[in-house]
Structure 1
Amino acid sequence: MSSIARRRLTEERKLWRRDHPYGFVAKPDTLPDGTINLMVWNCIIPGKSGTDWEGGYFPLTMHFGEDYPMKPPKCKFPQGFFHPNVYPSGTVCWCTLDEDNGWRPTITMKQILLGIQELLDQPNLVNPLQTEGFYVFMMGAMEYYRSRVLYQASQYPLIVV
């Protein structure tokens, strides 16, 4: 029997395949036996055009629980990702993904990915998680911050497979 979460993710997958933002990728994980794991998605978020993040294609993993959509997925960039709202482990902290405050079951995977793309260039400085990213941003060292962002973007170029 299919859970509510799996049915919802199956439907979101269909919608994503028909209509998704240019440059974004979101695919369920494939297990070693070739079956699809709908509960883990491998995604790519392109850096927004006209920002320092432009040119980067940032890998993000979304982990859905059996309680989705009542609870949000856990979203994670690679460990060490430089951003004030990303834990050193890579976990994204964003109000929309907070099950007690911003999360609503009607929020889709597409909206999450677009929101995280926006968060990259417009960090929430009220809730910083990464000391270095926050400190550099707040101390007015914008050139250093920009150079770190540009460097990070260069570490994640578009990979055509």
Structure 2
Amino acid sequence: MASGGIARARLAEERKSWRKNHPHGFVAKPDTLPDGSVNLMVWRCVIPGKQGTDWEGGYFPLTLEFNDDYPTVPPVCKFPSGFFHVNVYDSGLVCLSILSSGWKPSITVKQVLVGIQELLDDANPNSAAQQRCYELYKKNMPEYKNRVREQAKRYPSRV
């Protein structure tokens, strides 16, 4: 297949599968180009905060950027810059093992999004991406949780 053909074919299948069956509250759809065509290489997503956690009530925007080597290489996953989380860089880039050393081509968009939702409430302080979050997480958990709840309020449902 031509450069990127395998990636686009896989993403077209993932889109079809997602439309048939996806977790409640999640959104994942390819970007639309100015001419109205679909750009399978960039997806606009929303990850809901899990019920019963400090993230509950938030609907967090995330962008997935795929390159022509997908699914051999993982997508780049980014929240808005300044997103408050131990495992998210100030740029918004998500630091998660399944997006780096733990990547397997069999991992689907759905698995990536559910994995990121799990990461929200189950941070990995051993792989901290933001020093200020890490320090609060380790030294002042009540304040960390308060910041998470405040952030969730800034990303309400658009429905």
TM over 0.5: yes
Mapping of residues 1-161 of structure 1, within 5 Å: 3-98=5-100, 101-139=101-139, 141-160=140-159
1:142 to partner: Cα distance? 1.4
1:46 to partner: Cα distance? 0.1
SS in 2 for 1:102: coil
Gaps of 5+ in 1: none
2:133 corresponds to which letter in structure 1? G
Identity %: 61
1:27 to partner: Cα distance? 0.5
Q: Which runs of 4+ in 1 moved over 2 A?
A: none
1:26 to partner: Cα distance? 0.2
**How many correspondences in the alignment?**
157
1:79 to partner: Cα distance? 0.4
1:151 to partner: Cα distance? 0.3
1:42 to partner: Cα distance? 0.1
Q: How many angstroms apart in 2 are the aligned matches of 1:81 and 1:144?
A: 16
SS in 2 for 1:126: helix
Q: How many angstroms apart in 1 are the aligned matches of 2:16 and 2:129?
A: 34
Q: Normalising by the residue count of structure 1, what TM-score does the alignment of the two structures yield?
A: 0.96
1:143 to partner: Cα distance? 1.3
Q: How many angstroms apart in 2 are the aligned matches of 1:24 and 1:75?
A: 15
Per-residue CA shift, 1:17-36, capped at 9, x if unaligned?
A: 00000000000000111010
